[in-house]
Amino acid sequence: MDLVFRRVNGLELDKCVEIAHDLREWLNEQGLRKMVVDIREYETYGAYLNGELVGFAVLRFEHDFAEIMWMAVKRKYQGVGIWNQTIKLYRGSSQGSRHQINYRKKSAETQTTNPM
């Protein structure tokens, strides 16, 4: 598996929105609108498998930690370890070695924070 994790720019940001739209069972309309704003406001990184954007994560950096605000993987690539591998790649990068990663799980009913 040739997986690369890198910053998403320009038109690829729209591809991230498309990935999120295809996963509507995970997002209500308000959540989707917020994600679209956050994709452009914070740093968005893509998971590229053999050159194809298969998922993304929106990260907010503050001092010595990075918070994963949103993340999504195309349906056909779910369950094969894309994000486990992506987190390993990120932690091995120069930026990742300087930040603790936190993931905030969001839903309509609850909001909890789970350190990774």
What's the distance, CA 28 to chain centroid?
17
Those residues of the chain that have pLDDT short of 50 are 94, 105-116
Strand partners of residue 111? 106
What pLDDT sits at residue 112? 35
Total structural domains in the chain? 1
Domain limits for position 22: 3-115
What pLDDT sits at residue 12? 92
Separation of alpha carbons 85 and 3, rounded Å: 8
Residue 90: which of 53, 52, 58 has the closest Cα?
58
Structure confidence by residue, pLDDT tens digits, 68-99: 888 899 999 998 888 777 777 666 654 555 55
- What CATH code is carried by the domain that includes residue 93? 3.40.630.30
What pLDDT sits at residue 62? 81
Q: What is the pTM of this model?
A: 0.76
What pLDDT sits at residue 73? 92
What pLDDT sits at residue 76? 93
